Amino acid sequence: MMTEVTFEKNAVGAVHSHPHEQISYIVEGVFQFNLNGQIHIVKKGDSVYVPSNTSHGVKALEHHSIILDVFTPQREDFI
């Protein structure tokens, strides 16, 4: 399952965790990516692997930052 989300500058995807594995691909812009309490700066073309049950969240550092998230297994809560 894939989702694409557009963020404006300083918008936050709150830190959370879930039982799904996730790969996040930065389509556009720059994000501060919090992965298990470690902060990484990721930009267009970068990707991040998030293991299941790992805390993670983002903050957009530029206007019109776009992230594509891929989940496995499918997230029933998104349907």
Is residue 30, in this structure, part of any structural domain at all?
A: yes
Q: How many domains does the chain have?
A: 1
Instruction: Write the pLDDT tens digit of every residue in 28-77.
Output: 999 999 999 999 999 999 999 999 999 999 999 999 999 999 999 887 88
CATH number of the CATH domain containing 43: 2.60.120.10
Q: What is the DSSP string of 8-45?
A: -TT-EEEEE--SSEEEEEEEESEEEEEETTEEEEEETT
Query: Which residues span the domain enclosing 57?
Result: 2-73
Lowest-pLDDT range, 14-18, 27-31, 75-79?
75-79
Is residue 69, in this structure, part of any structural domain at all?
A: yes
